[in-house]
Amino acid sequence: MLYAEPRSSARDLMDKISVKVLRDVANNPSIIEIIKNNRKITATFDPNTGLILEGPAGQLPSVAEILQMAYPFEIPSFARPAWYDRDSVSRAAEYENTLGPHAATIRLSYICPEDRKAMIESIFMGNLRITAAVTAAWMGISWLITPLNGSQITLFSLNWVDNTVGYRLEQSLGTGITLFPGDKIEASSIDQSTGGTVYHRITYKLTEFDA
């Protein structure tokens, strides 16, 4: 909590303020020196009681001025923790199967929970021809994203046509994409060949944290 008197007149808009934070080596409560219009005002800061100013009426800075000037010195104490330090949970999932021809089918999905965000750190997809098709055709795996109240789009896809047994195609991506509450990602596979089988493998790794 900050204690400060409001400005006394429009002239205060031109007031000059400088702030200096003095902290002893034991990290005890700070003493803050505020000089406004060449008159010194002292303030005692304590995390439990807030900032208490002492000085002549009409000379005390506004709360906005204190926040603007004093907080740069206090960032280590007041800055919000990094995303990976906000109750973070590591999540990963994998889909693998050997399949014949099939229509587009969702294989993996994740929806970011309410009041949470998620950082996608890695996604992977791969195909391996196990048995030859009678007629090979287009096949692929796609990663899709649907923002909350938005339209689904393709993040990236792996597409190929090959009938050689043992033919392999893989792709991985460290995305760094942030998901917000309600955002959804999905992985879908498709094989339009006639006959034959293909091994599919799809994975993701993300870290979920407080919004």
Quick: pLDDT tens for 62-79: 656 655 555 544 444 456
Q: How many residues does the chain have?
A: 211
Res. 164 pLDDT band, cuts 50 70 90: very high
Q: Who wins on pLDDT, 57 or 178?
A: 178
* 30 SS3 class: coil
pLDDT of residue 194: 97
CATH 2.60.120 maps onto the chain at 85-210
What's the CATH code, domain 85-210?
2.60.120
- Using CA atoms, how far apart are residues 38 and 95, in angstroms rounded to an integer? 69
pLDDT of residue 70: 52
Burial class (CB in 10 A: 0-12, 13-18, 19+), 111: middle
| Structure letter (DSSP) for residue 55 | S
What pTM was computed for the model? 0.61
Res. 3 pLDDT band, cuts 50 70 90: very low
Phi then psi for residue 68, to 5 deg, are: -65, -40
Starting at the earlier edge strand, list the strands of the sheet with 39-46.
2-3, 50-54, 39-46, 31-36, 17-22
pLDDT of residue 13: 45
